[in-house]
Amino acid sequence: MAAQTDGIVNAEPAKRPPSYRPPRYLSFIVPGLIATLAVIVFPWLFTVWMSFHEWKIGGSRHWVGVQNYVTLAGNQRFLEAIIHTFYFTALAVILPLVLGTFAAVVFHRNFPLRGVLRTVFIMPMMATPVAIALVWTMMFHPQLGVLNYLLSLVGLPPSEWVFAKHTVIPSLVLVEIWHWTPFVMIIVLGGLAALPSEPYESALIDGATPWQMFRHITFPLVLPFLVVAGIIRTIDALKAFETIYVISNGGPGTASETINIYLYLQAFAYYNVGDASAVVVVFFGIIVALSLVLLYVRQRAKWT
Amino acid sequence: MTPGKPVQGRPVQSPLAYQARRIGGKLALGFSVVVLLAPCLFVFFWMLSLALKYDIDNTAYPPVFIPNPPTFDNFVHVFNESPMGLYFWNSCIVSGLATLAALVLGVPAGYGIAKARAHSLAVVMLISRMTPGLSYLIPLFTLFQFIGLVGTIWPIAITHMVITLPIVVWVMIGFFETLPAELEEAARIDGCSVWQAFLYVALPLARPGIVVGAILSFIYSWNNFIFGAVFAGRTTRTMPVAVYNMLTFEQYQWGPLAAAAIVVMLPVVVLTVVIQREIVAGLAAGGVK
């Protein structure tokens, strides 16, 4: 099963005559690689170097060693931003995973107009985030917004949405769920398409309920796909920017300020590039650490 | 009502109970489809509704759902009050250049990585996808500031390659891996160089993959906000930046805001419909978003 779900190496090359020398493909890769390295590695090295300086754009620059990191470790606002980021990420990963799996199971069934409806369903993940954030901003309006009106229709009290400290992050997550559930759906749908039909047939013969079939056949078989979706979602949720920046801009106060928003303000509102670079380094460390944990989970998911 | 035939192997049930279960299942499926699609459709519907209403209806409570009468004033307002045509053109240039460059560099790279099975190089591309866009911006901003390019269109187009290049490479790796190797090998035996085999054999076969890669990278470049937000000057704003700026100036003019949001998304919606089959076919499984 591991080889089947791997999907990278589809077919092993056939046996070659011993004299065959595989052609060299280096010349194909080099230009793209150089461009990638130029826009990735150069900024990286430069960032690390900057993070050891006290540096304001347009101002002076001098070497301060690890001072920026020490200050950061004691910076209450930054530590809160880390907590906000984890809170936001946890919700914005788990909920789309659950809903996306449900959507995939539904869209895996046959029903009239399935193709058209599926296209409609994936629209949110292609839509321009800033434009969508604008629409949600208008919908979240506590007095004139349509969401509070819809709540009143079903008899629920109005919410403050993004204008109160304790509801702002869940409200932003709502937008994130809306945006990215289709993405999870597509990946899981790919997994469902590859499922064998035999287990289902024997389960039917044994009189299994649909839920039992999902729990004991579908779920274990699509788990590797779910883990992939989970990894990508985690990375994207950690670095979510537009939704938060446009809708709440980190507010009210700093209640929804994530690492990314804090970073943006440090760098492009206060122009403290030295401090901001230190934030980038810490932030990237967090992303890599979390990705490694998830990759480890993925390996385990493959073998069980 | 005709009693349904029990599927072979199903435990024997009375035809009526089976029929009831079948109808129940259909209802549950229909209900699920409606529940899943409702939020998606509602947001787009509300966007359209806001854009087609006069402001007096937009700020009415309870909200007016169906524009009556519908008006195009908001769209006219958007194009009259701001150089939206120029911003649209900027976005076309930026995303067009970034996609073109990504194709020139990324298609051969994808081919090379797929043929040489150099998956560690593919990981380099993946890392670039993992890194937050902001973290490239500080050093690049400092660099472009130093060269004096901030405010022109060039830094935006160049930095958008951070988005477009990994997408093209990922799509092309997946695509070239599925192409049978025999054709190129035949060309090689006939005396073609590796590059000739690529140009005359593999490339024409890969046209569908190139189209998908190009459209996906165009869409994600078009949608990007942050690079433009940092690098753009007054005349070099891309669409998302221009629309965001409307928010800060016209907090309560919802009609024009929604109209502008629709204008930004129009090309994306069209392109998505064109390649929706490929998107669902699992291109996203490679980590392309």
Q: Where are the domains of chain A?
A: 70-303
Q: How many whole angstroms separate alpha carbon A214 and alpha carbon A106?
A: 12
Q: Which of B169, B194, B280 sits opposite A189 (nearest CB)?
A: B280
Instruction: Identify which of A29, A111, A283 has the shortest CB distance to residue B113.
Output: A29
Q: Is B150 exposed, middle or buried (0-12, 13-18, 19+ CB in 10 A)?
A: buried
Which residues are B152's β-sheet partners? Answer: B150
What's the half-sphere exposure (Cβ side, CA atoms, 13 Å) at B178? Answer: 10
Asked if A129 reaches chain B (Cβ–Cβ under 8 Å), the answer is yes
Question: Alpha helices of chain B — where are they, by DSSP H?
Answer: 15-51, 55-58, 73-81, 84-116, 119-130, 133-147, 154-178, 182-189, 194-197, 203-205, 207-223, 226-231, 239-249, 254-280
Task: Please classify residue B151 by burial: count the beta carbons closer than 10 Å to its beta carbon, then call 0-12 exposed, 13-18 middle and 19+ buried.
Answer: middle
CA distances from residue B249 to A73, A215, B256 in whole angstroms, order as listed: 37, 52, 11
- Between the ranges A223-232, B17-26, B38-47, B60-69, where is the mean pLDDT highest? B38-47
Count CA atoms closer than 13 A to A268's CA, side-chain side: 21
Query: What local confidence, expressed as pLDDT, does residue A15 receive?
Result: 52
Q: B238: phi > 0 → left, psi -120 to 50 → alpha, else beta; which?
A: beta
- Lowest pLDDT segment from A18-27, A289-298, B225-234: A18-27
Residues of B within 8 A of A118 (CB-CB) are: 276, 280
ipTM, two decimals? 0.83
Query: Would you state the pLDDT for residue B250?
Result: 62
CATH 1.10.3720.10 fits B75-286, yes or no: yes
- With bands split at pLDDT 50, 70 and 90, how would you rate the model's confidence at B53? confident
Whether residues A283 and B7 touch (CB distance < 8 A) is answered with no
Taking the C-alpha atoms of residue A248 and residue A162, their distance in angstroms, rounded to an integer, is 6
Beta bridge partners of A61: A55
Dihedral sign for Cα A226, A232, A235, A240, please. Answer: negative
Question: Which residues of chain A have a CB within 8 Å of the CB of B181?
Answer: 13
What confidence tier does A290 reach under pLDDT thresholds 50, 70, 90?
Answer: confident
DSSP state of B62: S
Give how far A254 is from chain B: nearest CA, Å. Answer: 19
Q: Which CATH superfamily is domain A70-303 in?
A: MetI-like (1.10.3720.10)
Q: Say which residue the tokens 């549950």 belong to.
A: B28
Give the integer Cα–Cα distance in Å for B228 and B153: 9
Chain B CB contacts of A246 under 8 Å are 244, 247
Tokens standing for residue B164 = 């477009």
pLDDT in tens, A130-160: 999 999 998 998 888 889 889 888 888 888 8
Residues in contact with B49: Cβ distance below 8 Å, sequence separation at least 6, in sequence order: B64, B65, B66, B67, B258
Question: In 3D, which of B184, B222, B232 has the Cα closest to residue B206?
Answer: B184
pLDDT exceeds 50 at position A123: yes
Residue A261 to residue A254: CA distance in whole angstroms: 10
pLDDT tens-place string over residues A179-210? 999 999 988 888 888 778 888 888 888 888 88
